[in-house]
Amino acid sequence: MTIDKQLGMRISYLRKQAGWSQEELSFRSAINKNYLSDLERGRRNPSLKILERLARAFSLNLATLLKGLESFDE
């Protein structure tokens, strides 16, 4: 599985654990809802700034946001 898909699954998991819709996470992270949807589907490669916004929205540090992600050959 690609790192993009792993990240998307991680974001989706954290969002659902928080009980938030994509719209709620979009508001809390100041990220466009369509972009967020693409992130969760593994279709976007987010910048460090976007990752920082997501981590803050979840009250996590970047390391915890990215925990468990591994790079594999596609």
Tens digit of pLDDT for each residue in 25-74?
999 999 999 999 999 999 999 999 999 999 999 999 999 999 988 876 55
pTM: 0.90
Residues in CB range of 18: below 8 A, 6 or more apart:
25, 58
| Cα(33)–Cα(64) distance, integer angstroms | 23
Q: List the CATH number of the domain containing 29.
A: 1.10.260.40
- The C-alpha angle with vertex 44 and arms to 31 and 35, in degrees rounded to 5, equals 30
Domain extent, residue 23, equals 3-65
pLDDT for 48 equals: 97
pLDDT for 68 equals: 87
Question: How many domains does the chain contain in total?
Answer: 1
Residue 29 lies in a domain: yes
